[in-house]
Amino acid sequence: MRRAYGLLAVASAFFLACTSGVRVHAQTSTVAASKFAYTGDDGPAFWAESANAPACAPSPTGRQTPIDISRAVPDRQLAPLNLDLEQTSVVLSNPGYNVRGVPAIGQELILNGDPYKMIEFHFHTLSEHTVDGRQGVMELHVVFLDEDTKTQLAVIGVIYKMGRPNPFLQKLLVHGLPQKSTSPHIQVGSIDLSKAFTSTSRYYTYAGSLTTPPCSPTVQWFVLQDWAEMSPQQFQTFHDVLGNNFRPLQQRNGRVIRKTAR
């Protein structure tokens, strides 16, 4: 399905940004190989080889992410996301392919009674998921790790559209973004991570994967239905650092996408 750029037609004129680096998923054993990018010989079509990540290869039975969110099935059993978030400081870094934030103190998502600890959040421009073929200008991924298994992940996705300045993003931007992997880490003072989300009572959910090598298919995705807004200036600042660091859409392969019916 062709991705629509909506209000941000200008974004399609930007070059894809080549990036590389080592991705370590905190407290897990999934460590990406050292070389991958978003274009060229190390781009997404070659991650299985260039990043030594076989799970990234196309498969008729795979559960890779991102996908186009469409034909979602309403499920009245889906409850609002159970988040326990506190004010915290955050350290921003750039591993070479995105901007990553790590909270100083524990933030939790409770799923089926099990605690998942927030290990990081990061950004992609443009959005990785699309909804009925529509692509956002940016997507935030907030990553939680199952405290019991240490392997299962839950990720909350927030898609952005162009609009008003976003207070949560501005809180980060006033401190500056790390421009590259060699940039010093940036300390952001007390921040309310709940402000990163739109309504956590309205979301889509499906079984998927990480969107960067090693593409581990161990993620339960929760993509919020309500899109957040960001200003053109905020987008430009993020895009100047990130380039177009979104993975192409993957095959749905018969997976059911459920959505809250509120």
**pLDDT, tens digit (0-9, with 9 covering 90-100), for 87-118:** 999 999 999 999 999 999 989 999 999 999 99
Q: Enumerate residues 6+ apart whose C-beta is below 8 A from 170.
A: 234
**2: number of CA atoms within 13 Å, CB side?**
4
- At residue 25 the predicted structure's pLDDT band, cuts being 50, 70 and 90, is very low
**149: number of CA atoms within 13 Å, CB side?**
11
pLDDT attached to residue 194 = 97
**pLDDT, tens digit (0-9, with 9 covering 90-100), for 207-216:** 999 999 999 9
Give the CATH superfamily of 9-260.
Alpha carbonic anhydrase (3.10.200.10)
- At residue 28 the predicted structure's pLDDT band, cuts being 50, 70 and 90, is very low
Confidence check: pLDDT of 12 > 60: no
Please report where in the chains the tokens 């998927």 appear, as a residue: 208
Q: Where are the domains of the chain?
A: 9-260
Confidence check: pLDDT of 77 > 90: yes
User: What mean pLDDT, rounded, does the chain reach?
Assistant: 89
Burial 41-58 (b: 16+ CB within 10 A, else e): ebbbebbbebbebebbee
Confidence check: pLDDT of 13 > 80: no
Confidence check: pLDDT of 19 > 90: no
Q: How far is CA 65 from CA 81, 112, 155, 222, in A?
A: 21, 23, 11, 12
What predicted TM-score, i.e. pTM, was given to this entire model?
0.88
pLDDT attached to residue 26 = 35
* Phi then psi dihedrals of residue 11, to 5 deg: -65, -30
